[in-house]
């Protein structure tokens, strides 16, 4: 694997940011000898983790959507793109590219990315995928919430699903509280993977991303995290999620469902009626055409609450 990077450029016309809810700024602390310890920027231990295969324009559009008060570090894991992805030069972003020797799939790319961020000393990995767009101050808000809730190992947000042309389709508004997530974990998708911020030490403690459950690597990780920690969602908009017909959920649908069913059987709780309903739902997914499934999702998620713009 090789690595390349582009330094951040200072924005020439940046507007001042008023402190937002969750964007914590504290005075310098005192060292044991009484001297002042310089305040560490609030995002210094956060890195955006983006696995990508081709799609240079999508990578640049996604990274350009980040708007934070502090500099943002980005690690792109280039999963064998041809031609290789280039690190864009964007205001307030420091972009590093880690190149996989060949295309090995998102599971290995994420596994490698988490290990690389741990080796670089980062504590939090903020997921996003090429093509998706984030909302302003997402990273600062998620980090502040995780700092205040040390038992939570993974924190997601709500997502507006959009078509390739940006047309809003439906809202993904999963439950916020850990106990609700555990109860309906198999009945519905309780996390929007590219909206998640993860504690890197917790991810490594449970074995990192794995290739054992192809195309369901996120559910596999979250289930293992929930055996030791809590996982939660901020009930507000954090991501514009692009519905791409060539994405994993569309082209590798049966493999994803098979992996999900294996996970359901492994963690199945016969006393939880939602586990039974989730099992029945995923069996139906095998015989439901993808187009019909999309229409059903739009009807179901249209009843979900609308997102709040702020905390």
Q: Rounded to the nearest 10 degrees, how much is the dihedral formed by the CA atoms of 67, 69, 71, 73?
A: -50
Residue 71 located in a structural domain? yes
Q: What is the mean pLDDT of residues 145-150?
A: 98
Residue 307 located in a structural domain? no
From CA 172, how far away is CA 236, in angstroms rounded? 10
Confidence bin at 19 (pLDDT 50/70/90)? very low
What is the pTM (predicted TM-score) of this model? Answer: 0.83
Cβ atoms of 281 and 187 closer than 8 Å = yes
Range picked from 1-15, 226-240, 294-308 for highest mean pLDDT: 226-240
Residue 204 located in a structural domain? yes
Q: Is a pLDDT exceeding 60 seen at residue 27? A: no
Residue 289 located in a structural domain? yes
pLDDT in tens, 71-128: 999 999 999 999 999 999 999 999 999 999 999 999 999 999 999 999 999 999 999 9
Q: Residue 150's domain spans which residues?
A: 2-7+36-301
- In the chain, how many domains are there? 1
Q: Is-cis flag, bond preceding 83, omega within 30?
A: yes
From CA 295, how far away is CA 302, in angstroms rounded? 11
pLDDT of residue 63: 98
Range picked from 16-20, 162-166, 274-278 for highest mean pLDDT: 274-278
Instruction: Give the gyration radius of the chain's Cα atoms.
Output: 19
What single DSSP character describes residue 125?
E
pLDDT of residue 28: 37
pLDDT in tens, 41-70: 589 999 999 999 999 999 999 999 999 999
Residue 23 located in a structural domain? no
Q: What is the mean pLDDT of residues 192-206?
A: 98
Confidence bin at 35 (pLDDT 50/70/90)? very low
pLDDT of residue 285: 82
Q: What angle do CA 96, 98, 101 make, to 5 degrees?
A: 160
Confidence bin at 161 (pLDDT 50/70/90)? very high
Residue 306 located in a structural domain? no
Confidence bin at 16 (pLDDT 50/70/90)? very low
High-pLDDT (> 90) share of the chain, %: 71
Residue 15 located in a structural domain? no
Residue 13 located in a structural domain? no
Separation in Å, CA 78 to CA 7, 39, 47, 123, 248: 18, 33, 16, 22, 17
Q: Is a pLDDT exceeding 50 seen at residue 192? A: yes
CATH no. for residue 256?
3.90.550.10
Confidence bin at 305 (pLDDT 50/70/90)? low
Confidence bin at 302 (pLDDT 50/70/90)? low
pLDDT of residue 155: 98
pLDDT of residue 39: 46
Length of the chain: 311
Chain-wide mean pLDDT for the chain?
85
């Amino acid at each position: 694997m090789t690595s390349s990077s582009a330094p951040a450029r200072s924005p020439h016309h940046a507007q001042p940011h008023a402190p937002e809810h969750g964007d914590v700024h504290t005075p310098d602390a005192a060292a044991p000898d009484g001297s002042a310890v310089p305040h560490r920027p609030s995002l210094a231990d956060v890195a955006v983790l983006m696995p990508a295969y081709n799609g240079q324009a999508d990578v640049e559009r996604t990274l350009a959507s980040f708007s934070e008060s502090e500099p943002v570090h980005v690690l792109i894991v280039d999963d064998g793109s041809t031609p290789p992805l280039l690190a864009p030069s964007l205001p307030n972003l420091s972009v590093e590219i880690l190149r996989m020797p060949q295309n090995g799939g998102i599971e290995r790319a994420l596994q490698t990315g988490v290990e690389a961020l741990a080796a670089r000393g980062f504590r939090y990995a903020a997921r996003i995928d090429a093509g998706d767009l984030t909302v302003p101050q997402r990273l600062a808000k998620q980090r502040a919430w995780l700092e205040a809730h040390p038992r939570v190992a993974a924190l997601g947000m709500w997502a507006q699903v959009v078509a390739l042309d940006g047309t809003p389709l439906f809202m993904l508004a999963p439950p916020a509280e850990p106990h609700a997530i555990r109860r309906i974990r198999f009945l519905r998708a309780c996390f929007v993977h590219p909206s998640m911020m993860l504690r890197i030490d917790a991810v490594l403690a449970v074995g990192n991303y794995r290739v054992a459950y192809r195309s369901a690597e996120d559910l596999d990780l979250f289930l293992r995290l929930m055996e030791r920690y809590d996982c939660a969602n901020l009930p507000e908009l954090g991501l514009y999620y692009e519905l791409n017909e060539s994405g994993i959920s569309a082209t590798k649908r049966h493999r994803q469902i098979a992996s999900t069913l294996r996970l359901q059987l492994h963690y199945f709780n016969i006393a939880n009626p939602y586990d039974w309903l989730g099992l029945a739902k995923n069996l139906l997914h095998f015989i439901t055409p993808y187009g019909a499934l999309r229409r059903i999702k739009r009807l179901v998620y249209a009843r979900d609450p609308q997102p709040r713009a702020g905390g």
